[in-house]
Amino acid sequence: MPPFWSAGLRFVIAGALLLALMVIQGRPVPRGDRLLGTVLYGVFGFALAYFFLYQAIGDAGSGTTMVVLAVVPLLAVLLSVAHGLERPRLLGVVGALVAVAGIIIVAANQLSLDVPLLAIALLLAAAICQSESVVIVKRLPPGDPVAANALGMLLGGTLLVAAGLVAREPLALPNQSDTLLAMAYLIVPGAIGVFMLALYILARWTASATSYAFLLFPLVAISLGAVLFDEPIQPSFVLGGAMVLAGVYVGAIYRPQG
């Protein structure tokens, strides 16, 4: 499926399912600052982030994509400080740097020497938008996570479908069983599950601490590759994984006494 259409369809369906749940349960429609936060969350977290990501991932590959997205925690720290949400914290920056170094070690063998510069730039743009969406949720809390994700996904998905129309993508519905299975996974656990949990955590953690989840994505992907496809786990994976966990602990969890 073409990139904008597949991303847009994914979020429109997920948003529609959550909207139905929102109506059935009588959840309130966000208003005022909550509505503004929901709109910005949809624009940055779904429309813009996936607009850039889906253009880049075909050329960049999964290894390069995850390495570049590993800068999200650093960007979240910087943006949180810029928005006045958090004070500058040395351990946060140090932890992010250590964790990013670990991700680079893990993904070093997967990087292609022929990755286009434009793809790297698009991935960086996606990382910036994703980081900004995390900060927006802290600065303008959208309130109820079901309503926020329902409206945010519908808005973001609609904008992505519009981008597909502008790009003249063929808007064909998937009909192959493997594509349908992949879309079902991306819609239910990959969209509804992930982003519902994200807002739940954001209501309880800081923006920068929540964004550390991005650093674990490559580790999970490589681990699943070893289980499902018998891909060997290199010593660099063990070293890099230890560095990521250490970085997450230092930057997001550890608080010195006194």
Query: Residue 105 corresponds to which tokens in the numbers above?
Result: 């070690």
Percent of the chain whose pLDDT exceeds 70: 94
Instruction: Round the average pLDDT of the chain to a whole number and report it.
Output: 85
pLDDT value, residue 53: 93
How far is it, in rounded angstroms, from Cα 196 to Cα 206?
16
Quick one: pLDDT band at residue 51, thresholds 50, 70, 90?
very high
pLDDT value, residue 93: 82
Average pLDDT on 204-226 reads 74
Q: What does the angle CA 231 – CA 54 – CA 218 come to, to the nearest 5 degrees?
A: 30
pLDDT value, residue 142: 87
Contact 57, 10 (CB under 8 A): no
Average pLDDT on 43-50 reads 96
How far is it, in rounded angstroms, from Cα 70 to Cα 61?
14
172-185 pLDDT, tens digit per residue, is: 888 889 889 988 99
129-161 pLDDT, tens digit per residue, is: 999 998 998 889 888 889 999 999 999 999 999
101-114 pLDDT, tens digit per residue, is: 887 887 776 665 56
Quick one: pLDDT band at residue 231, thresholds 50, 70, 90?
low
Closest by CA to 171, choosing from 157, 188, 191, is 157
75-95 pLDDT, tens digit per residue, is: 887 888 888 887 877 887 888
How far is it, in rounded angstroms, from Cα 60 to Cα 115?
6
Percent of the chain whose pLDDT exceeds 90: 33
pLDDT value, residue 7: 92
